[in-house]
Amino acid sequence: MSELNKLLEMLPRGTSAALEPNHSAAIYCPTEHSAKMYVRAPLLKEDAPPDGARPPFVIISAVGAMGKSALARYIAYEKGAHVWDVSRLTLGTNTFRGTLAESFSINALPALFDDLRNGRILFVLDALDEAEIASGWQRVEIFLSEIYGFVKDAAQTCIVLIARNDTAQYIKWYLDDLTQNNTRCCLSYRIDYFVENQAEDFIRHFISARGRGTPPALKQAIQAVFEKFYRTLSEERHDERDFGRYWQDHRVRSFLGYAPVLQAIANFLSEHRNYMEVIAHFSARNGAQLVCEIIESLLEREQGKLVDRLRERLKNNPDVYRIREEDWQRIYTPAEQLKRLFLYTRRQDAYTPALHTSAIPDGCLSDYVDTLRSFLPQHPFLLDNRFAGPAFEEYAFARLLDEPDFCERVKEELDRTPNGKPYILSPLFAELYLFMKDRKVPADVAGYLYESVASRAVKGQFSADIVPDEDGHKFIITDRAGDETIDCTLLNGTAIFFARQLTNVRIETEGEVVLGCENDFELSDCSLIARRITIRANALVVRSYTDEQFVALESPDIVYPPALTINCNNKDRFLVFSQPLGYPWSEYRRGAARSPQNGVERIAAALRSILSFFRKNDKGAFARHTKYIDNVVVGRSPMRQAILQYLMDRKLVTANDNRQLYFLDWRELNARGVNWDQLRHVTPSQGFQRLVEDIHSHIQHIL
């Protein structure tokens, strides 16, 4: 039996007394239609008194917009009880008694009071979080204390209280404090996120309520939408037919199982009559774009709710007339919400007036801050003082990295390692950020993108390359296990920064590369060629696990802290080319760095980059899609275009008949003394040097 069914079985029936014609607008009897429209979400029992006791109160909590009011109506309908919309009451002394007297006949009140004191009838009180916003917490306490005085000796549960998480927690603490004998006076439940079949039911009910049919094609359309989100949100890759496993991933369920997200999806589906077109539409769309659109719609919804509440609060404030209509749109904007949520989840001052816009006159600021104090903790992106799900948090990180007054705070958060445990970004962060920035990003976020994509990669099947490009640097991340490639442009203006590690990475730049913050920085199977390499870490951990792996640093200017230590498991595979260096570098230095301005060296770096992107296919041939090589690896660089043409003229690279694939002739390259290991090695073979010099003699006119 589900927890909801157990709860319904435990609760008494509602009162048989009829409402007076002029009853309080806050009390109503739910209709059969509204009850039937309720889609059950899992109800989780969070705690319970011992020995099966039935305390007078049940508290049900959830994040914002998870169907709390729908559950209130469902419970009340099933038990023949009344719902109280507490947000419509002006709370104060004797509000509970006064509302009962206003809503029921004077002859019915004595029996009703007696039934309530003995736990024989049920009331469902909804929207206590909104009541807190409207009346303030002190008045909520007065209201709860009055109800407690009625039901404290009730033999069974007779009051159901429903609110968002934060308010529900305060209610629980307050009611527990009212008890005199250390016994609990409430049971606590939490509405959990929907699971797959419930999420589908929610969408179907929503569309049906709009008078639209729900043909079999709708199920296919829902699955097409869900599948797009599965691939975007999940850290794992599952069999395409095993969709149920995606719902076990918290990253998926905390987003797709969230009612406002499902409502946004249902809104889209209800606007289309041809569901097969919907399937084609979603299959072609960018998953990160869909996540952004839904999150932005939720932020706009919250903005509208707070502005409406603030208008009501300020209606008697003379300064409110100084707020123009267009100024209201600058209050509690999505960007401001994200900044306040970031501070709130980091237990910093989330209510600082410094974040408000100039749209709010000084005379209205205190009212705005007070509204924030009761409104922000109820934000749908929050769960127990943290973000409700990774999608909301990583959207906030991606968006705030582009806010000048907050980008450094976000970087500090991502760089720090509290208790030795760094924040691990999921692949979603990279997708969101690259979508927001149109794949042109500051160089100092390279490390965050790298760690984001690497979090889903299989060890040994992941690589990254940073090579010069006309607009800055081309950053290419390849996940061979998932057959995925992510590319973007790193813009000039900042150093290329990595916070914690580099594994299977090649970097060639005429700029600066910065490694680490304060803790250890790990290098494994990578090559760095730069004008300057700045090491901020206290220790370098250098690892080579096979004879084919090495770590190479090449720069005329290596900057490092005086107390730097190097922990290297194979000093023969750690190669440093630099200016003369003292301890702890002396045993690893192999010579001076070469000038990156030298034409031969530039060709060597570009040739390595082009050839190393070819991958062995299932037929044993080294191949790559022509569009990828032409547009991403070669791009608009005249030098790279000339090198590729040289290779094609000599049949080292060929295209198939329909020019979909380039093939690399490794036998011919091996015959010239070029092998895979030498492509990645800082010290080239004689065969590789001869090939580079021959290319240089043919294309030097464009250098």
pLDDT score of 5: 93
> Which residues face 487 on adjacent strands?
476
Give 637-652 pLDDT, tens digit per residue.
888 899 999 999 999 9
Helix (H) or strand (E) holding 150: helix 137-151
Residue 684 reports pLDDT greater than 70? no
Confidence of residue 419 (pLDDT cuts 50, 70, 90): low
What's the rounded Cα separation, in Å, for the pair 384 and 375?
A: 14
Confidence of residue 50 (pLDDT cuts 50, 70, 90): low
Give 79-91 pLDDT, tens digit per residue.
999 999 999 999 9
3-state secondary structure of 223: helix
Q: What is the rounded average pLDDT of the residues 127-149?
A: 92
For 615, the token pair is 């991958």
Q: What is the rounded average pLDDT of the residues 361-372?
A: 89
What's the rounded Cα separation, in Å, for the pair 106 and 129?
A: 30
Rounded to 5 degrees, what are φ and ψ at 164? Answer: -65, 165
Q: Report yes or no: 295 and 265 within 8 Å, Cβ to Cβ.
A: no
pLDDT score of 57: 95
For 548, the token pair is 């084919």
Residue 460 reports pLDDT greater than 70? no
Residue 407 reports pLDDT greater than 90? yes
Q: How far is CA 643 from CA 170, 312, 606, 610, in A?
A: 68, 68, 8, 9
Q: What is the rounded average pLDDT of the residues 177-181?
A: 78
pLDDT score of 181: 65
Higher pLDDT, 701 or 335: 335
- Weakest mean pLDDT among 5-14, 93-102, 215-224, 606-615: 606-615
pLDDT score of 172: 93
Confidence of residue 240 (pLDDT cuts 50, 70, 90): low
Confidence of residue 481 (pLDDT cuts 50, 70, 90): low
How many beta carbons lie within 10 A of that of residue 87, not counting itself?
Answer: 18
Burial of residue 241, with CB atoms counted within 10 A of its CB: 0-12 exposed, 13-18 middle, 19 or more buried: exposed
Residue 495 reports pLDDT greater than 90? yes
Beta-carbon contacts of residue 583 (< 8 Å; ≥ 6 apart): none
pLDDT score of 138: 93
pLDDT score of 681: 56
Residue from 246, 226, 247 nearest 294 by CA: 226
Rounded to 5 degrees, what are φ and ψ at 319? Answer: -75, -10
3-state secondary structure of 152: coil
Confidence of residue 614 (pLDDT cuts 50, 70, 90): confident
Whether the full predicted model's pTM is greater than 0.85, yes or no, is no
pLDDT score of 238: 53
- Weakest mean pLDDT among 517-531, 540-554, 612-626: 612-626
pLDDT score of 51: 65
The C-alpha angle 101, 103, 106, rounded to 5 degrees, equals 45
Residue from 701, 685, 661 nearest 607 by CA: 685
Rounded to 5 degrees, what are φ and ψ at 686? Answer: -65, -40
Average pLDDT, rounded, for the chain: 87
Q: Report yes or no: 34 and 80 within 8 Å, Cβ to Cβ.
A: no
How many residues does this entry show for the chain? 703
What's the rounded Cα separation, in Å, for the pair 13 and 27?
A: 16
Q: What is the rounded average pLDDT of the residues 236-259?
A: 78
Residue from 530, 192, 196, 252 nearest 390 by CA: 252
What's the rounded Cα separation, in Å, for the pair 365 and 192?
A: 36
Confidence of residue 216 (pLDDT cuts 50, 70, 90): confident
Higher pLDDT, 583 or 480: 583
